[in-house]
Structure 1
Amino acid sequence: MSSSVAGPDCCGGLGNVDFRQADLCVMTWLLGYVDPSDPCFVAAILTIAFNPLFWNVVARWEQKTRKLSKAFRSPYLACYSLGAAILLLNILRSHCFTQAMLSQPKMESLDNPTAYRVGLALLGVGSTFVLSSFFALGFTGTFLGDYFGILKEARVTTFPFNILDNPMYWGSTANYLGWAVMHASPTGLLLTVVVALIYMVAILYEEPFTAQIYQQKASSSHKRS
């Protein structure tokens, strides 16, 4: 849609914002722009929520049972297959995200060349983090190879992991944010918040496991030496 809308005032203006309630304020403000009953919006929410749930459930199941490795007769083939499925699901998620933005009005205050350039810069930063993470980890490292018993010698600490934890997730979030700003889309901004929240939940499940397996690997190596 090409129409633009002006949004509701949020929290009484910037000067009166209680920053302890900033996240709730942003969500409430963005919801003022969005039609949550729109099928494209619903599809985007479902794909955003489903993807990390899918790969965490499947990876934990594999780690406990080795059923995928047995079915493919190789942990590498099993990991490659899961990675391919994750990539396809992420393409679907991005498609649904874009369709949800296009199906709802733009935000008037973001529909200008300066905001477009800011969005483009965010997309560049996000892509840098995503691609550098992939090159640092490799395919199996990126797509949950540790759950298949495919471990590196040690946890990766080079760029971009020396800049921030979980750069793949935050780079992906920056990509969605940049894409939303480029489209001047309040729907995209709201969906980006949902992406970030879902990734935060995923990190809570993934980080302890990753730390544990590399700690066990280090302990085993120390005992052998």
Structure 2
Amino acid sequence: MSVPRRPPAGNAGTCGTVLGFPRLGKTRPEHRGQPGSALLHPWDAGAGCPAVGGAGSGEAPSHFGALHPRQSRELCTPRSSEMRPLDLGSVGVRGRLPGAPANPLSPPQVDARAMARLLGYVDLTDSAFAAAVLSIAFNPLFWNVVARWEHKTRALSRALGSPHAACYCLGTVILLLNCVRSHCFTEAMKSQPKLAGLDCHWAYFLGLAILAIGTLFVVSSFLALGFIGTFLGDYFGILMEAKVTSFPFSVLDNPMYWGSTAVYLGWALMNASPAGLLLTAVVAISYTIAMLYEGPFTEEIYRQKQKGAKSK
């Protein structure tokens, strides 16, 4: 196989761009005014390039090894006066990989459009939604404040003549407040859009099942405790003889609160309401805070009762 001779020194071309970095010098006469031209001299595409082959030896240097002619053409292109980024296939260094952050050292950014789409289902500034949140947060705050005030002062018992009458009065007010809360909850769902993914039969029947289970816990708790035990009778000095351990208290603690939360969750699913789901989370949070305050205080009441019984 014949090896082409090296062209004369006066017409020899030099490597224009090596790995994306321009080399200074004269371009071949036929390539002037044609930056990036694909018409390459055989010596520009092979061993004649100083950056690829040896200095006039016609052989590739040892650190490059044997190069394919296509690779040589990518390494040696006609020189241009314009700086070009390193070619990494279809993406340059000045660009960025598809899906990658602009700064590889910075954490990935959260898609604002997805967040806006999620929050778009719930209007937090709606008056009905705000009324529902206020009613949910107010109810446990009200009965805890009033019950502790009664436990310390016995003001309601003296005003109404007996602790039983005072407890029935407070229980009635709590029931009315719960009705107002349920009404605000329903109106908030009506004023907000539905979630298309939940507006189907399976979600409706799932919500119905959860609502039925929650109602079971609420009703069975009321039957096990009675009206006085349900509505904070121990704060009025009306203590039970023993701790209730029958169903549903044998299944979980505070079944009245968790059953009420399940009722709201099922109601929200039946209405395919994202606002209802968010309000259900508010109900769960408010009940959790109430349990943190009520549990230790109630235990202290019965602890004092046991101490008084032992002293006698």
TM-score (norm 1): 0.85
Tell me, yes or no, if structure 1 residue 128 matches structure 2 residue 213.
Answer: no
CA drift at 1:30: 6.0
Q: 1:195 to 1:163 in 2, by over 3 A?
A: same
Q: Distance in 2 between matches of 1:129 and 1:29?
A: 36
In 1, the alpha carbon distance for the partners of 2:214 and 2:224 equals 15
1:140 aligns with 2:228: yes
1:30·1:187 contact (CA, 8 Å) conserved in 2? no
1:205 paired residue among 293, 297, 302 = 293
- How many residue pairs get aligned? The number is 198
Partner of 2:199: 111
Q: In structure 2, which of residues 279, 287, 297 is the aligned counterpart of residue 191 of structure 1?
A: 279
Identify the residue that residue 89 of structure 1 maps to in structure 2.
177
Deviation, 1:41, is 0.2
The amino acid of 2:245's aligned partner reads T
Q: Distance in 2 between matches of 1:55 and 1:207?
A: 14
Structure 1 residue 48, shift from structure 2 partner: 0.3
Cα distance per residue 1:169-201 (max 9 Å; x no partner): 000000000000000000000000000000000
Show CA shifts across 1:10-57 (max 9, x none).
xxxxxxxxxxxxxxxxx9996442101111001000000000010000
Give 1:70's match in structure 2, choosing from 139, 158, 162. 158
Matched, 1:100 2:195: no
Q: Which residue of 2 aligns with 1:157?
A: 245
Greater helix content = 1
Shift of 1:210: 1.1
- Counterpart residue number, 2:268: 180
d(CA) in 2 for partners of 1:218 and 1:113?
53
CA distance in 2, matches of 1:137, 1:155: 10
Partner of 2:257 in structure 1?
169
**Which residue identity lines up with residue 305 of structure 2 in the other structure?**
K
Amino acid at match of 1:43: A
Structure 1 gap segments, 5+ residues each = 1-26
Residue 48 of structure 1: aligned partner: 136
Letter in 1 for 2:124: P
SS at match of 2:192: coil
Q: Judging changes above 3 Å, is the alpha-carbon distance between structure 1 residues 155 and 29 closer, same or farther for their aligned structure 2 residues? A: farther
Task: Give the match's secondary structure for 1:106.
Answer: coil
TM-score, normalised relative to structure 2: 0.62
Instruction: Classify 1:140/1:59 alpha carbon distance in 2 versus 1 (closer, same or farther; 3 Å).
Output: same
Residue 16 of structure 1 is matched in structure 2 by none
Superposition deviation, residue 155 in structure 1: 1.8
Q: Evaluate the alpha carbon distance shift between residue 30 and residue 167 of structure 1 in structure 2; reply closer, same or farther with a 3 A threshold.
A: farther
Counterpart Cα distance in 2 of 1:112 and 1:47 = 29
Measured after TM superposition, the shift of residue 105 of structure 1 is 0.4
